[in-house]
Amino acid sequence: MLKYVLRRITIAIIILTLISATVFIIFNYLPFDPARLACGKHCTPEVIEGNRHRLGLDVNWWVQWWRFIVGLFAGRNFGEGAALIHCSAPAFGYSFTQHACVTSLLGEALPVTVSLAIGAFIMWLTLGIALGVISARFRNTWIDRLSTVFVLVGTSLPTFISGLLILLFIVLKFNLISPLDLGTWHSPLSDPWGWFSSYFWPWLSLALIYAATYTRFTRSNVIETSSEDFIRTARAKGVSERKVLWKHTLRPALAPILTIAGLDFAGLLGGAIITEQIFQLPGLGRLTLQAVLQDYDLPVIVATTTLAAAFVVIANLIVDLAYAVLDPRIRIS
């Protein structure tokens, strides 16, 4: 088990290293000049060259990448003399368009996205698995048909449609949230009710489409697992149906869903851009969108891209390790 964990961690580090290098290669060959975009209205060749030096763009991409890697562990300085700016580790860079270390920008945006991702994840997982199990338990009945309608509606509505419908016809129509309070961050520690009331509706808009998908997968997996030999053996021994369902059926049936859940959760941590835009949430998705469309803020783009990739890689590692816990038929050698 320990060897497997160490091997997977090593592979994850290699993948993240390759991804970060690839990001630097891609942005190095894009037809944009961040030094020119960061110089403001009064651009001269001298100012552009000074910006290029401050941004660290006056060297090859592999030198830029290596400085980025070192900065993650040791911090990094930007500029010289009186204009020297120090970003403490982990230093993802410095945004000259927003005049702040990228780490501080991520620190402001990450709690918003984490709150959105965790709440939506719990909501859709609970709702999807519960409806899937109930639908499989009472298949070919009116309950099963009702859950099928929910699946069809949920999978047919894109996130931006469901989000707009919830915002316009529920939240604003019944004045559940003041329009001035949209996008306001409430800490779950100091103001738990404000945090919950602000994020419940974004959670719901994301959970609808995911819960519909998980309902369908859970139903099919539970029905398939119920036909296995070990389930028939448990019933033949006189084990109660409730124990057969909860102890023998659910654990192996939920194992394939775990893979999807881990990747979906990692994708949300990378930034649920549409939902954050609809509800004006200042999370990672909004930060990335602003950096790409408005500022062409290379340090922010590199940081959010690398962070999103890290979420996916780490989620894959956790999923692989959790497989052996959920399904006793799986063993890690």
Respond yes or no on whether the N-terminal peptide bond of residue 252 is cis (omega within 30° of 0).
Answer: no
Residue that is written with structure tokens 């999923």 in the block: 319
Question: Considering only CA atoms, which of 201, 135, 193, 123 is closest in space to residue 162?
Answer: 201
State how far the Cα of 333 lies from the Cα of 322, in Å rounded to an integer: 14
Residue that is written with structure tokens 């109660």 in the block: 240
Q: Residues 260-277: what's their mean pLDDT?
A: 82
% helix / strand / coil in the chain, to the nearest 5?
75, 5, 25
Strand runs (DSSP E) across the chain, as ranges? Answer: 76-78, 85-87, 94-95, 100-101
Give the pLDDT of residue 80. 73
Question: Considering only CA atoms, which of 184, 175, 55, 197 is closest in space to residue 119?
Answer: 197
271 confidence band (pLDDT: 50, 70, 90): low
329 confidence band (pLDDT: 50, 70, 90): low
Q: Residues 219-237: what's their mean pLDDT?
A: 84
CA dihedral 266, 104, 63, 305 (to 10 degrees): 20
Give the pLDDT of residue 121. 92
State how far the Cα of 38 lies from the Cα of 95, in Å rounded to an integer: 9
Give the pLDDT of residue 294. 72
Q: Residues 266-276: what's their mean pLDDT?
A: 80
Burial of 23 (0-12, 13-18, 19+ CB in 10 A): buried
132: which 2 tokens? 């899937």
What are the pLDDT digits (tens) for 24-55? 888 777 777 777 766 766 677 777 777 777 77
Higher-confidence position of 203 and 51: 203
State how far the Cα of 333 lies from the Cα of 320, in Å rounded to an integer: 12
Neighbours of 187 (CB within 10 A): 11
pLDDT > 80? residue 180: no
Q: Residues 275-283: what's their mean pLDDT?
A: 87
CB 119 within 8 A of CB 197: no
pLDDT > 70? residue 330: no
State how far the Cα of 277 lies from the Cα of 326, in Å rounded to an integer: 36
Q: Residues 56-63: what's their mean pLDDT?
A: 82
pTM listed for this prediction: 0.82
224: which 2 tokens? 């398939």
Neighbours of 78 (CB within 10 A): 20
Give the pLDDT of residue 128. 92
State how far the Cα of 270 lies from the Cα of 285, in Å rounded to an integer: 7
pLDDT > 60? residue 333: no
CB 257 within 8 A of CB 217: yes
CB 24 within 8 A of CB 64: yes
Domains and their CATH numbers in the chain:
2-101 (no CATH), 103-326 (1.10.3720.10)
For the ranges 63-77, 135-149, 284-298, which has the lowest average pLDDT? 284-298
C-alpha angle 213-216-222 in degrees, rounded to nearest 5: 135
Give the pLDDT of residue 106. 92
